[in-house]
Structures are given as C-alpha cells and as structure tokens.
Structure 1
Amino acid sequence: MVRDKSRRRFLQLAAAGATSAGVSRIATTRGRALPAVGGPSVIGQTGRIVAGQSDPDRWARVSFDIPFALTPVVIMNPVTANETAPVDVHIRKVTRNGFEFRLEEWDYQDGEHAAEELHFLAMARGVHELVGALLNAEAGFVAANTTAQSVSFTQSFSQRPTVFAQAQTHNGRRGDAAGKGDSITTRVDVAGTNQFTVKLQEQERYRQFHRSETVGYIALEPGEGILDPPLGKLDSILGGFEVDATTQTVTHDDYPLEFANDYDSPICLADMQTLAGHNTATTRVSDIDGTGATVAVEEEQSADTEVEHVPEAIGYAVFEDDALLYV
C-alpha cells in the first residue's frame, strides 16, 4: 500500500527530475554548503534525495558541495513510506567529500525497494552553537555493537537534547565479504542532559553478534529560530529551523507531528529517543509538508508477524531546505 500524500510528493519530485531508477543512479541531490578548508564558518549541509533500491548490493555516492575539513557525521533518517516493506538506510565510506548509502531491507526480504524520499544532515564533529537561536549542538563518533553502552556528551546541555545516531560503517555481523546477515539499525535512549545510551539492532531472528561499527551522532538542543547568514552576507535569505521531541506516545500507529514554523520545503529528520520496546524497530515518516509530518515506529517480521510496538518518544529536527548552519 502507498500512502497517498507521500506518493503525491514523490510524483512532484519526479516531475522535477529528482528521481532515481535505482539506488545506483541519482538524478538530483540538493544540499547546502559545508565547512571548507579556509572557507566560511559553515558547520553543516542538508540534502534531499529520491532513490530506490533495484539491486540490494548497489550503493549510491553522495558528494558534498564543499569538502569538510575533517570527516563529518552523516544522519540520513527516516525513510518515507511509499512502499510499506520494512526498510532502513545504511551509510558507509563517509569522507570529507561525501558518503555512500543504500536503502536496506532486512535480511529475510528480497532487498529491492521502491523509490523513497530521504533527507540528510551532515555536521562537522565537535561542539557548535546554532547562531540564530543560541542553541547548542554536538557531533561525534563512538564504536558500538549490539550491547547497549553509555556515551557522555562533551558539553552539558541545558535541556535534554534530541539525539540522532546512525552507523557510518558497514563491517557486518560476520564480517564476510558478501556482507550477508548484517542489516542493522541504531537505537538510542536519551535519559538526560549529560549522556545517552546507544546500541545496534539486527533483525529479531538473529539479534546475536554484530561486529563493532562506527556510529555517528548529532545532538541538538530543543528550540526554534532563524539561522544567521555568514559575515559579509547579511542580506542573504535566512532559513528557519526547529528541534523538538514528542512525549513517549508514538507506537506502530501513525502519529502527527505539527511543526512550530511553516516551511516552503522542509528537511525533516526524526528518530526514536527511547528504548522502551526492545524488538528491532525503525522510524518511518510520511505526509511531509510545510506544516507537519506523520511518523510511526516500524518493526520488522523476521521472527514473527506481530508488529505492534510499545510507546516511544520521537525526536525530530526540521530545517528550511536552503538553510545553512553557521557557527
């Protein structure tokens, strides 16, 4: 089944040329500037991609507009719901210049997936301040496996931050060259202002050993505002943004998010902030428009057909498509 509103948005993007026949071919990648060596004080890039997975073994390459000074953290979640087969995004080979990704269905599935709209945020590692609203941000890396571990922030946030985490490598469960049996997702539990818990999850049928992966995380302080332009470009168009989280009420049923601001072309990141349900699950999004979106928790069915999930909190961040993140 295809969600009508998401499908309409996909068709609109397709008409504009932002589609891909398979994940190995991307017609359009829309993004923003990054911190270049000797360049302006830009710490991040947002982007929008429409891609499908016609070959489960193929990866697509995304190139940044301007190289980072150091390897950044890349978050590319959630996946839209044009096709309802369970799916997540896997990232690998993150460099100063770009990264590779694929739509990754679970190991019990065929691996082919219809085109979905994907949003990403790349951020320079370190502690930052979103100038327009004086909100703190932090990006970093941690080694993680299927055992939950605690990660301490470099800074102490004044409010519990929204944390996005995603594997940046593709080492695999057995580390075999074929990479079989290694579909994963990353789960976090954000309990306070000083730290969070992170772990990898394989499909329920396995849930045993998975080799350590490098997980990137971006923590954003809740709030909203207008991002300032760089010095010397004070007449530039300013982009709005907001960061927030729901209460622990989101389940497998559709849950509406209402944005605090109106957006012309929103970039929306969203993911679970709690680990209340221990069944393997991801976040899916649909009905994205200028005023809101719909999210739901999606379990896979490798071990059983039951997909009901206990309530979780969903954190989200929204940026205007042409917004820049400056220090």
Structure 2
Amino acid sequence: MRTQPIANKNTARKFSDGQKSQATAKNTAAEAKKPHKTEILQGRWGMKQARKRNLSLQERKKWLCRLIFTALYLLLGWQYLYAADATFTWTANTETNLAGYKIHYGKTSRNYESVLLVPKTETTATITDLTPGITYYFAATAYDTDNFESDYSTEVFWTAQISNTPPVATNGSLETTLGNSASGTLNATDADGDSLTYSIASNGSMGSAIITNVATGEFIYMPNTDAIGADSFTFTASDGNSQSNLATVEVMIAEKPANIPPVAVIQYQLPVDSPFTAELSGVASSDADGEIVSYQWNFGDGSTASGPSSNHTYSVNGQYTVSLIVMDNSGAISQDVASITIVGDIENISPVAAFTATVSPDNSAQWVFDGTASDDPDGEIINYSWNFGDGEIGSGTMTEHRFLISGVYSVTLFVLDNDGGTARKVVDIEVTVPPFIMETGEVSVDGDWQWVPFSEPIENPVVVAEPASDNDKTSGVIRIADVQRTGFNIRFQNWEYQQVVEHANENVGYIAMESGSYVLENGVRVEAGTFATANSESFAQKDFARQFNTVPVVLTAVNTVNESSAVTGRVRNVTAAGFEYMLQEQNSSDQIHQQETISYIAWEPSAGILGDLVYEVRKTEEEVTDEWFGINFNTLFGLSPVMLAGMQTTDDDDPASLRYQLLTATGMQIKVDEEQSVDSDASHLAESVGYIVFGTIEKTISGLTADADQDNDIDGVDLLNYIGGTSPLSLEEIAAQFGLVR
C-alpha cells in the first residue's frame, strides 16, 4: 500500500478565469469517460463555486467534495478486483491546488480503520493484504494544498474474494489375479493445501472399485467372477470448492498362479529353570505367496495345541517327537518335526477339583453336578468320583442326583490325575424335596373320552391306570390323554381288528402322583416319572432317577395319543436300577408307532398307611396266564378297594393287556387278555404281575373303625399295628374281635 503524508498549508486555493475554463474542459473530458453502469456513488460535476475568487471554508469543502465525488465515480467505474487486493483507477484532475486523495476503509460501515494516501499525480491505487472472505467498506476524500479536506464520499462495500486452485488427480495402476480383490490408494494434490475427498466416477466392465476411506483415497477393487484382462475405473477429488480433473486407474487381472506351499519351521528351547517345559515356536514358518492361517502342534505325548507358539510341560522323562503342521490361505500344508529329550526328576503338580451344583427347574430334589472346571496343569484328570452326602456315590465329569429327603448335604468331588495326584472339592447344598402328593380312585370308562378331575391341582402329574374290568369281552387297552395339573382324559380303546368302537363300561383304578422320588414314613421308596419313546420293535432301557433298595413293582401307562392306533406298553427285566420298555400295537400292524409320552410309578413291595389310606404292593411269581388267576391280599381292605396291576415280564411277546374280576376286600382274579388280529389263539405264557391296592381305614372292619387316636383300645391298636406290620396277631384273630369282614 502506498501512502504519503499531507502537507499542512494555510493558503486558500484561488482560481482564475483561465483556470476555470481549463478545469471545465478536463471535467468534461472526464465526464465522457464515465462507464455506462449503475452508479455506485452518485456524484455531480460542476465548477460554479470555483469561479469565486474568495471562497468560504464551507464552500471550499463542498467544492472539494464535488471533486472527489467525480473522482470516485471514475474510480469505481474502472476498478479491478483481485483476491485479497482492491485496485482503483480514475482520470487525473488538473486543478492546480489539488494536493491528493485519501481512500478510507475498514470492516465496519463509517468506521474506517485504515487510509491510503494517493498523490494527485496518481490515477491508480491498490489496497493490498485484504483478508479473503471479509467485507470491507470504502469512502474517499480529497484535499488541497491548503490542507482543506472534503467530506466522505458515498460509501461502497466489497467482500474480498477467496482464491482457490482446483486439486489435480493423478492416474494410477493396479494389479491383481483371478478371483482376488486388491487394495490401493488414489492420489491427488491441492496447491492450496486443502483437505481432499475422493469419489469413484465410473467403474469398468470387469469389476468394481469401492472407496473405503474418502479422506485418504484408500479403496478396494473386486473383480467379477472369472474376469481376466485389462479393466479401469475413474475417480475425482474435491477440496470443497472445486473438483479435480477425471483421473483413471488401469487394472490388470492376471490368471491365478499355482500356489506355493508353506514351509513349517520348529524352534524350541528347554529353560534351565524349567527343564520339563518346552518353549516351542513356529513363527519362523513362512508362505511365499500368501499367509499361514493355521498352526497345529502335536507334542508326542498325546497332547496337542494350536497357535504360532506354545509351551508344553512333560510329565514323564523320555524322548518326544514334536510335530508342527502349518496350512496357508490356499489350503496347502507343510510339516516339521523336532526331537525333544526330557531328563530329570519330574514333580507332579496336583490337579485342582472344581464343580458347580445346579438344581433342576422341573424338580427341586434333582441336582446337576458339573466338574468340567477341574484342571490338571501338568497332565490330565482321569477319574471323577462323587459323594452326594446322602450315602450315594457317582462318577463322571458330569452327573445328576435325586435326593429323597430335604436337608443340607455336603457334596464332594474327588479327582485323580494321570500321575496319581488327587484333589477334592466340597460344596454344601440345601435340598428341598417336593412333598409326596398322590391321588387315587376308580373310574367307570367306555369307548368315549371322559375327564377325570383331581381334587387338588398336581403341578407335574404322573398318571397310570390299569387294568380294566371284564364286563365287555371285547379286547382293548386303556388310553390316557391331556394330562394336566387339574386332571386327565381316559377311555377304553378296542383293538382295530374287531372293527367295534363302542365298549361297555369298565371299572379302572388310577393313581395320579407328583413327579419325583420319595421315601415314605415307613422307609419304603417310591418314584414317579415320565419318558418319551417310539420303540415299538425292540425294548429300550429306562433307568430310575435313584436306585431302589429292592426291586420295585413298576406300573406304566401311555399318556398321549400322538397316533390314533391302539397301543399298549410292555415291561421286562425290572431291577433296582431300572426296567426295559416297548410299545405294542396289534399283531397285524407294521409295529411302527409315533413317539408317545409314558408315565411310570415304581413302588417297593410293602404294606402300610398313607394318611387315611392303607395300601399293599406285591407281585406274583410268573404264573398269570390267559386263565383267571386268584390273588389273596395280605392286608384287610374294605368293601371298595382301588386296585392297579401291570405285567412285570414279557415271557410271551404277543400284544396283550390285563383284565380283572371279583375284586373284594380280600382278593381278586386277574388274567392276560391277548389280542387276536392274526389268529384266534388267545393263550399266553405265564407272566409275573405286580399290583397296588388301596383302601380306607374307616371301611376296613364291619361296624367299627380303627382306634386312630391310640387310646389303648386294644382292638384298634391291634388293627393299626397289623396294618403297620408290627402286630403279633394274625388277620383272622383281629377280624374275629371285630366281627365279620365285609
């Protein structure tokens, strides 16, 4: 910026007539040079005041103002604007006492921070170093040799333009192979140093480029399937103000070369302070045309590991052959082996026992024990032994156990490692055994479904019902369905070969029991549960949740109707640990049946009292056939005992079920009823039959009841003792005291 001081003069400007005419001529010429654009500063040219020889101060300032108005009009008419520079050009004024011009400017209207002094001899002035993007306000004044200065001209404003150089994108190239993507970075420069963003303009016909980072130009190129040859794509870069030229990246897709297999290399050392631990490394392995994606170690002692490096501790002295197999990203493999000798006294590190105990959501007496968290740092655990704290033991990494009595149990896990080291873990658990809930009764059924409600809801009911009476000679089976917490459906279903749906009413005893394992007050074990099976061509083993002390009587029932065909279940090989079971359709069928849910109740042979019930559980020898067989009860029951029975053997595998008659307080008759879909032979080999009978104490003796309050009534006490199995008297002697038995 060119500036110069203004000289202070007190002499006033004077004009002669000749000067007037000269000024007029100059100004007329200047008027002719005005551009024909909208006037930014409205100024009028005139020299009437100049004719006066003696001008007042106000008049001289007005004259100077007119002068600068004219000058600024010319100035703005011919200005040239550059980035951060403003240049003003005008026609020179020839007035003799004109000293110069001032261009005032600033960033606020009429608040000028700077001034440019322009000599009167200059017709061009440039204001430099303006900040791009900032609006500036300009006004001009003129001053003469007497240091008189005009008022400000009309103000104009202008925003300094921001200069920008577009970025320049550079062509590039890329190579890849058939079916393989390739990555790269696009390149562009910006002279102004602006940040750039990249974008793909167009893709070729053989593949596509995708920018993964718009700020850096990183991209990935993915060729089309089976594409081979030359391809290209174009891109541009932008600095936010301008976009670059279009640049091209040439792509060459070559055929995929044959894979070079990797090279496996084992490096190892035996530290002095730990001579039994081999520090093994495979990081020296390499792959010339790809990368190694898998490292598999075999330590020669039966142990394996994976990964580029591994430390392994040996537990026995000797020489071991260690192998490392590496695989590259194309599936090729390579192997290296090394011989390692272990010498010295190896001290076994004991294993660590650990386990979790989780109660089953279906039964609070059933617990799951998991010992997989146990560990042996220098070998392996070869044995897991469990003590459940209730006299029962188990084995295996994981095991289940059902407790029979509520209480706190200390469960212990013992582990043994391959060097004889042992460890144990003890966890105390609090067990809540569900209460023994059972409901029994007798129902009259025919060929139609009948709903049997429970007197109280049973959360997880197990229902068995068998056998049917023999009122209708049509052979068939008892079917149960829709077992719910409030009851179940039951009916008699004839075998299909008889082509008869209707069936006369039959009496059937049933038991509904809460699922679980129980110990009754007299120490007798009972278990109720369910399982699913579709075995109709062979027997399958079903284990009890808890092993019994003696072989129980097992009663079963099909509890679903997933297939409409008549079906029954057969039992054999009943032991204290479990039993075998199979479904049976009539002989003429294909013996293929859909999966059904089976309920079972297992009860140790016994007799006793359950609340207001007396019961007896027994089984016969293998002597029940297709002929009626009489059974005498050992317990004195009343008029209407409830009886359930089931075959405990399958000595004859013809499909059959049980039927009964003449059920009284002292006994019954029972037989095996075979179906005859293939032939008319109804004979059946002898089977063992188990049965459960229930009666009420109040109905046991005619005309009297047992002395339930134990008030030394000898007869009542004798009866209760007999029922409990502790009376020295016989049933006949007790019955004689009460009168006739009903």
TM-score normalised by the shorter chain: which range applies?
Answer: 0.7 to 0.9
What secondary structure does 2:568 align onto? Answer: strand
Residue of structure 1 equivalent to 2:449: 59
Residue 218 of structure 1 is matched in structure 2 by: 601
Q: 1:189 and 1:312 mapped to 2: Cα distance? A: 10
Matches within 5 A, 1:134-153: 134-145=523-534, 146=536, 147-153=538-544
Is 1:292 the counterpart of 2:667? The answer is yes
How far does residue 69 in structure 1 lie from its aligned partner after superposition?
2.1
Contact 1:271 / 1:314 at 8 angstroms: preserved in 2? Answer: yes
Question: What whole-Å deviation, never above 9, does each CA across 1:134-172 have from its counterpart, x for those lacking one?
Answer: 211001111122131000111111111000111110011
Q: Runs ≥4 in structure 1, deviation > 3 angstroms? A: none
Asked if 2 retains the 8 angstrom alpha-carbon contact of 1:160 and 1:190, the reply is no
List per-residue Cα deviations over 1:171-201 (Å, max 9, x = no partner).
Answer: 11xxxxxx3xx10011111431111001110
| 1:283 and 1:297 in contact (8 A); partners too | yes
Q: 1:92 aligns with which of 457, 462, 481?
A: 481
Structure 1 position 197 matched with structure 2 position 580: yes
Does 1:43 pair with 2:437? yes
| Contact 1:267–1:321 (Cα < 8 Å) also in 2 | no
Distance 1:287 1:105 in 2: 22
Give the match for residue 14 of structure 1.
Answer: none
Measured after TM superposition, the shift of residue 101 of structure 1 is 1.0
> Which secondary structure state, in structure 2, belongs to the residue aligned with residue 78 of structure 1?
strand
What SS class does the counterpart of residue 108 from structure 1 fall into?
helix
Residue 625 (structure 2) aligned to one of 233, 246, 251: 251
Letter in 1 for 2:661: S
CA distance in 2, matches of 1:284, 1:129: 31
Q: Which amino acid aligns with 1:300?
A: E
Residue number in structure 2 paired with 1:76: 465
Q: Is the 8 A contact 1:107 1:183 kept in 2?
A: yes
Match of 2:690 among 298, 305, 315: 315
**Aligned counterpart for 2:635 among listed residues 241, 245, 261:** 261
> Which of 86, 104, 110 pairs up with 2:493?
104
Partner residue, 1:206: 589
Secondary structure (helix, strand or coil) at the match of 2:584 reads strand
Q: Secondary structure at the match of 2:471?
A: coil
Larger radius of gyration: 2
Q: 2:623 and 2:528 mapped to 1: Cα distance?
A: 27
**Residue 167 of structure 1 pairs with residue 167 of structure 2:** no
Taking structure 1 as reference, are residues 322 and 52 closer, same or farther at Cα in structure 2, changes over 3 Å only? farther
Unpaired runs of 5+ residues, structure 2, are: 1-433, 699-742
Distance 2:617 2:545 in 1: 20
Whole-angstrom distance in 2 between the partners of 1:306 and 1:241: 36
Alpha-carbon distance change, 276 to 207 in structure 1, aligned in 2, over 3 angstroms: farther
> Does structure 1 conserve the Cα–Cα contact (< 8 Å) formed by 2:547 and 2:576?
yes
Establish whether residue 120 from structure 1 lines up as the match of residue 510 from structure 2. yes
Q: Counterpart of 2:660 in structure 1: which amino acid?
A: V
Displacement of 1:130 after TM fit?
2.6
- Amino acid in structure 1 at the alignment position of 2:649: T
Structure 1 gap ranges (5+): 1-39, 173-178, 230-237
Q: Given the alignment, which residue of 516, 519, 530 partners 1:129?
A: 519
CA contact (8 A) 1:46 1:321 kept: no
CA contact (8 A) 2:656 2:674 kept: yes
TM-score where L is the length of structure 2:
0.34
Q: What is the aligned counterpart of 1:184 among 558, 567, 570?
A: 567
What secondary structure is seen at the aligned counterpart in 2 of 1:120? strand
Distance 1:322 1:99, change over 3 A: farther
Give the SS at the match of 2:677. coil
Structure with more of its chain in helix, by fraction: 2
Deviation of the 1:262 alpha carbon: 1.2
Does the 8 Å CA contact 2:614/2:697 hold for their aligned counterparts?
no
Partner of 1:3: none
Between 161-170 and 144-153, report the one with greater CA deviation.
144-153
Q: Compute the displacement of 1:51 (Å).
A: 2.7
Displacement of 1:42 in angstroms is 4.7
After TM superposition, give the deviation of residue 289 of structure 1 in Å: 0.5
Relative contact order, higher structure (CA 8 A, sep 6+):
1
In 1, Cα distance between equivalents of 2:655 and 2:697: 34
Whichever residue aligns with residue 52 of structure 1, its letter is: D
After superposing the two structures, state which structure 1 stretch, 182-191 or 158-167, moved more.
Answer: 182-191
Number of the residue aligned with 1:276 = 651
Q: Please give the alpha-carbon distance, in whole angstroms, between the structure 1 residues aligned to 2:511 and 2:540.
A: 24
Secondary structure of 2:478's counterpart equals strand
Structure 2 CA distance, aligned partners of 1:117 and 1:165? 18
1:165 counterpart SS class: strand
Pairwise CA RMSD of aligned residues? Answer: 1.6
- Provide TM-score, normalisation by structure 1: 0.77
